[in-house]
Each structure stands twice: as C-alpha cells, then as structure tokens.
Amino acid sequence: MLQNNAQLKSLIDKLWQNFWEGGIANPLTAIEQITYLIFMKRLDDLEAKRERDAEWTGEKYVSRFSGKFQIPGSNESIDKNELRWSVFKHKPADEMLMHLQMKVFPFLKDLNGETSPFTKHMANAVFIMPKASLLVSAINIVEEIFKEIEKDATEGGHAFQDIQGDVYEMLLSEIATAGKNGQFRTPRHIIKLMAELVAPQLGQRIADPACGTGGFLLGAYQYILTDLVRKKDPAKLQKDEDGFEHAAISAVLTQEVKSILDKSFVGYDIDTTMVRLGLMNMMMHGIDEPKIDYKDTLSKSYNEDSQFDIVLANPPFTGNIDKGDINEGLKLPTTKTELLFVERIFNMLKMGGTASVIVPSGVIQNSGKAFEAVRKLIIEKAELKAVIAVPSGVFKPYAGVSTAILIFTKGGETNNV
C-alpha cells in the first residue's frame, strides 16, 4: 500500500528528518519516541470509537480516560480526559511538553495495570523530546499521517488497522541502519513466505525466541486471519505487493477469535527497547495484551520446553554465549549461538510441532563436531521438510552472510493441527 502513496511516504520521511534535526540521531531512539506519539494518538482514537459505539448501542462502556489519574511522585491527581491526544494537542508548546513528560507518559506506562508485560517493560522507558518545537512539529505530522491513513482507508478500501501496520513497518525498516550484535529486521516478504510454509492455525501456540519488534509473530497473526477469510469468504482475498494473499483483518476478528489470538503468541528478546517496540507493535495491530518478555532463551532462566505448535525465528547469528550461562537442556558441544538456537527451537516445539528458522549456511555445510551434531538432531529426531537457500544480499547490513531457511517437524507429523 505504501508504495502507492507518495504523500504518506513523504510525511514519514519528514518525521524522521525532524527528529534527526532535533538532535535524536539514533534510529532506535527516534523510532521509540515516534512510537510513543503514534501510540498516544491511536489510543485516543480507539477509545473515542469505543465510546461512540457504546453510545450507539446503548451498552455501558468505561473509557480508559474516565476518572482521575494520580501523578507519580506528587499528591496531585488529574482528570484522565486531560491526557487525551485530542485535548493536549491544543496546549501551548512549552506547557504541552511538560504535560506529556509529567502526566501523559506516566499514564501511558501504567496503561495495562501493574501485572501486564507492557507495564513491566515500560517501567524504565523515558520520553525524550529535546525541545517543545520538535514536539509540536512531530504532533502535526502524526496528525497528517493519520488523516492520510483515514483517506486511504476510505478511498482505497483498506482496513484502517492494516494501513497503520504498513506505516509502522515502514518506520521499523529504519532499524536496519542500526543493526548491531546480529540484530536486524527480517524483510517482510521473507516473513510472509515462512508463515505460508508452516501455515499456523487458529488455536495453535506460536513463539519466537529472539523476536525483536515482533515481525514473525505478526506474520503468523496475519496469516491466521487471512486463512480464516479464505475459508469463510475467499472473494475478500486480494494479492498484496509481494504477491501473497491478504485480507483485511477486521473481516474475521470476532470477539471469540480475538480472545483465542490474544493467548496465541509468545516472544522473547534480550534488548529492552526491542521488547517495548514489539509490545507496542502487537498492541497497535489489535492484540491488546501481548506476551513479549525480556529473556535470554539460551540461558538457565528459560524453561518452556515442548510448549509450542509453531516456532518462527531469525535468531542472532553472531557471537558465543558464556559456557556457564547455557541452559542445561541444551546438549550441543558448543557455545555458538546460531547452533544453540536451533536446539532451543527444537526443544520449544511440542511433539509434531513445526519450526521455520533462518540459519547461516555454515549450519548446513560446516564439518565441525557441533555442526554435525545439530544436523543429526534435526534429521534423526525431526522430519526435515525443506532447506531453502536464501540469496546472500537479503539481510542488511550483513550483506555477505549466506543463509538458509530450515523447516522441520519435531518427531515427524502428528494430527494435532
């Protein structure tokens, strides 16, 4: 969709430029701050829609913006309505910046209640805005982006949520320039391909042990919803820009489906910024209580073996883990993360569960003892269904790394799908 909307692309570029010129040069920091603004705007819009719907149907609805909010570190409380985007955007620049830092952002951090992963991982989040003028221009651009999204939704027949997902994906693509420690985004067409190949179904549990911003979990989510449309009303399917079938997610998102999906996806990452971005990414795509957590899945603290029907992953290729930190369940004679992640993924699967994982080609070709051991594991204890060579230039910024997609089913096929 975005490829065809020059106006939207230009607004997003302008937003980046503003942050860059405003002194926030690190793409990860910029995207985190932009995400907070988009999230505030989206939250207000969603609540307004729910309030209108309740008024229309006569049902009782208690808005997130009703009642008082106790401002942390003070005796003062504020009417939550003052924390809405539609209200604070009219304040004078300096007053608005102070209002967001001292009141709106603390409210946002506590949004899902004390026990939610979102609140836990937002605890150390900081709203960084060097000057009030940057905030005002950013708010104006976000407003224009949402107007453009709404226009595209009306004229182009796209679901609002789908377009917003595209906008967010475009923002996230900037993270590629900040790739370090083997952390980089998987191109969306590769995610779609891997989801198609394992074909996740409604009710299955799906995981990613190194999930970054949640791309694979969202790929599985979109696939499940598109597949529901395919079964119910195939006429509503259309081909997307990558040639994959796609449907507006709102077409099948009933309350029953939604409650199943809310429990279906689990992700982990060892970068707190990625965890926060992943949580917000999932929430903006309609998963209200996402389960993404900060955890090293190769370490002793991880204990979710044989729990998942599907694992989709592109784990970090580079580096070794300290031998003393390695989880006791990982038996391979190595400290190399790319080998240990294959064993971790195998262990995470239920019997009959299927994985689709990106590995460096060395996992298939190298003759070392640990490399042979990992190949033996997926050939003898699983059914290796496919090895797909991926051109070496696919992953930026590691253009020279030759990779492959492995697809295997633990213990072979079962009928639990």
Contact 87, 81 (CB under 8 A): yes
Computed over every residue of the chain, the mean pLDDT equals 84
Q: Which pLDDT tens digit goes with each residue over 178-191?
A: 444 444 567 778 89
Answer whether residue 415 shows pLDDT above 60: no
Which one has a higher pLDDT value, 332 or 239?
332
Dihedral of alpha carbons 175, 176, 181, 183, sign = positive
d(CA 24, CA 16): 9
Contact 215, 191 (CB under 8 A): yes
CATH 3.30.360.10 fits 2-168, yes or no: no
pTM > 0.75: yes or no = yes
Q: Which pLDDT tens digit goes with each residue over 50-101?
A: 888 888 888 888 888 999 999 988 889 999 999 999 999 999 999 999 999 9
Q: Among 92, 107, 96, which Cα is nearest to 44's?
A: 107
Class of domain 179-410: alpha beta
Over residues 308-319, the mean pLDDT reads 89
d(CA 78, CA 202): 42
Domain with CATH 3.40.50.150 in the chain: 179-410
Domain with CATH 1.20.1260.30 in the chain: 2-168
Lowest mean pLDDT across 65-69, 244-248, 342-346: 244-248
103-115 core/surface letters (b: 16 or more CB in 10 A; e: else): bbbbbbbbebeee
